[in-house]
């Protein structure tokens, strides 16, 4: 069982929710995480359990089946889930990202028809922006959406899609005209749409239980009402979703880093050398102090950005800062945890090596940390 964190929660309701999340993390996630990661099996039943307790629609309106949670609470739930099992915490973050377009840019009729099913707990979503030739360059995507008498026909291949082949719905960015930035539109595609298939999942260094695959769209027919927002608004929708998604990744990183720190502290107190626990050595103590400070700083940064979002203030720069700082901190904490464990940190008998492998991807997904630096610098210097 993990120790509780002294969290910044606004009311008793939030504290009760966090107690439930901690219970789910201890009783449902931690006991099976290593086995699923080793086997590379996707834990769909776990997401069903999370849906049953209301964790798949947390920041969305209660009238559509969500929980109306502010981001300062939602993100701390993501952190706690990731602390127990990163693939699950990141999966919930991606699902939330996948519903963002409809929840924020859809018409009232579209929201009433589809949002309750998407966030009510039974469905799982995927977000389809990246392609093999357009990762950081999102405007370079080539998946095509051709007008038809009844709506649109989508053709192309999306890459690096979390929940690819597992999702019940896909939020897909596709090109409706040649204009680079204004020629992209957003579509809500059912997971069982004819012509939508997923390739064999990628063999990844970490997060092996989280399915990542190419998604192929072979003349997928969509009704006109599956367009979210206006034609040409897709890039704006995609980037708005990524701002909130980056906060989710920051929370995931803090959760994983906290788990690594927990392991480093536990091991250092039980491993003896020269007749004393290695935690008594100043060198180890200083490493742990630096790790804890980095984690607390990253947590404070993502919560500060979340408060800006909750207050409807601009937060794009702060989201990029939070993602950058948290994921860089997570990587360093994971490295230091392996170092503290020594040889034990390099073998699968201990979780440190898994944390090390998982930390790296967080510096890449939803905008590499080089892109985050670009976003921060651009926003600061253009004024």
Q: What's the whole-number average pLDDT of the chain?
A: 96
Classify residue 185: in a domain, yes or no. yes
Here the CATH number for the domain that contains residue 184 is 2.40.110.10
Domain match, 56 and 90 both: yes
Domain match, 161 and 199 both: yes
Which H or E run includes 197?
strand 196-198
Classify residue 3: in a domain, yes or no. no
Q: Domain end: 186, 209, 235, which one?
A: 235
Domain match, 223 and 319 both: no
- CB neighbours (10 Å) of residue 51? 19
Three-state SS letters, 88-141: HHHHHHHHHHHHHHHHHHCCHHHHHHHHHHHHCCCCCEEEECCECCECCCHHHC
Classify residue 2: in a domain, yes or no. no
Domain match, 245 and 322 both: yes
Residue 281, phi then psi, degrees to nearest 5: -80, 135
Q: Domain end: 203, 235, 267, which one?
A: 235
Which residues 6+ apart lie within 8 Å of 355 measured at CB? Answer: 256, 259, 260, 263, 334, 337
Domain match, 246 and 231 both: no
Classify residue 195: in a domain, yes or no. yes
Here the CATH number for the domain that contains residue 50 is 1.10.540.10
Domain match, 84 and 188 both: no
Measured between alpha carbons, how far is residue 338 from residues 28, 69, 264, 324, 349 in Å?
Answer: 26, 36, 8, 22, 12
User: What was the pLDDT predicted at 316?
Assistant: 96
Classify residue 342: in a domain, yes or no. yes
Query: 271-296 burial string, b = 16+ CB within 10 Å, else e?
Result: eeeeeeebbeeeebeebbeebbebbe
Domain match, 355 and 249 both: yes
Q: Which of 37, 131, 153, 366 is catalytic?
A: 366
Domain match, 374 and 245 both: yes
Domain match, 272 and 344 both: yes
**Helix, strand, coil: what percent of the chain each, to 5?**
55, 15, 30
Output the six-digit token pair for 202. Answer: 């990628």
Classify residue 7: in a domain, yes or no. no
Confirm if 303 and 230 have CB atoms less than 8 A apart. no
Domain match, 241 and 231 both: no
Q: Residue 128, by phi and psi: left (phi above 0), alpha (psi -120 to 50) or beta? A: beta
User: Does residue 366 carry a catalytic annotation?
Assistant: yes
Strand 125-128 and strand 169-175: the pairing is: parallel
Classify residue 6: in a domain, yes or no. no
Decide: pTM greater than 0.75.
Answer: yes
Which residues 6+ apart lie within 8 Å of 172 measured at CB? Answer: 128, 143, 154, 158, 186, 187, 188, 189, 217
**pLDDT mean for each 10 residues of the chain (383 residues):** 84 95 97 96 96 95 94 98 98 98 97 96 96 90 97 98 98 96 96 98 97 98 98 96 96 98 98 96 98 98 98 97 98 98 96 98 96 96 84
Here the CATH number for the domain that contains residue 376 is 1.20.140.10
Classify residue 25: in a domain, yes or no. yes
Which residues 6+ apart lie within 8 Å of 230 measured at CB? Answer: 185
Measured between alpha carbons, how far is residue 202 from residues 3, 102, 160, 356 in Å?
Answer: 34, 28, 8, 19
Q: Domain end: 91, 119, 147, which one?
A: 119
| Separation CA 332–CA 372 (nearest Å) | 18
Q: What is the span of the domain harbouring residue 153?
A: 125-235
Domain match, 174 and 82 both: no
Domain match, 129 and 84 both: no
**Domain total of the chain:** 3
Confirm if 315 and 245 have CB atoms less than 8 A apart. no
User: What was the pLDDT predicted at 2?
Assistant: 74
């Amino acid at each position: 069982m993990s120790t509780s964190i002294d969290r910044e929660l606004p009311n008793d309701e939030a504290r009760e929710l966090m107690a439930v999340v901690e219970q789910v993390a201890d009783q449902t996630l931690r006991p099976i995480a290593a086995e699923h990661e080793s086997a590379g099996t996707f834990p769909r039943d776990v997401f069903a359990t999370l849906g049953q307790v209301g964790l798949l629609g947390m920041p969305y309106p209660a009238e559509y089946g969500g929980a109306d949670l502010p981001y300062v609470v939602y993100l701390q739930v993501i952190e706690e889930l990731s602390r127990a099992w990163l693939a699950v915490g990141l999966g919930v973050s991606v699902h939330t990202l996948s519903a963002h377009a409809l929840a924020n840019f859809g018409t009232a009729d579209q929201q009433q028809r589809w949002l309750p099913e998407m966030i009510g707990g039974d469905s799982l979503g995927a977000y389809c922006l990246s392609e093999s030739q357009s990762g950081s360059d999102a405007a370079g995507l080539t998946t095509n959406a051709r007008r038809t008498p009844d709506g649109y026909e989508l053709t192309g291949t999306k890459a690096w899609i979390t929940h690819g082949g597992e999702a019940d719905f896909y939020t897909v960015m596709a090109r409706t005209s040649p204009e680079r930035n204004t020629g992209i539109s957003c579509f809500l595609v059912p997971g069982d749409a004819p012509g939508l298939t997923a390739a064999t999942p990628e063999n990844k260094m970490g997060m092996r239980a989280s399915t990542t695959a190419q998604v192929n769209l072979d003349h997928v027919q969509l009704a006109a009402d599956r367009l979210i927002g206006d034609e040409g608004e897709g890039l704006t929708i995609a980037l708005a979703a990524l701002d909130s998604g980056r906060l989710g990744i920051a929370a995931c990183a803090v959760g994983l880093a906290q788990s690594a720190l927990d392991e480093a502290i536990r091991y250092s107190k039980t491993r003896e050398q020269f007749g004393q626990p290695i935690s008594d050595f100043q060198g180890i103590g200083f490493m742990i102090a630096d790790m804890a400070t980095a984690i607390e700083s990253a947590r404070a940064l993502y919560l500060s950005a979340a408060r800006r979002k909750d207050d409807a203030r601009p937060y794009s720069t702060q989201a990029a800062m939070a993602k950058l700082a948290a994921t860089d901190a997570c990587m360093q904490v994971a490295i230091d945890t392996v170092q503290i464990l020594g040889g034990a940190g390099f073998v699968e008998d201990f979780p440190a090596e898994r944390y090390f492998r998982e930390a790296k991807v967080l510096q890449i997904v939803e905008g590499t940390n080089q892109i985050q630096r670009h976003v921060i610098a651009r926003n600061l210097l253009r004024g």
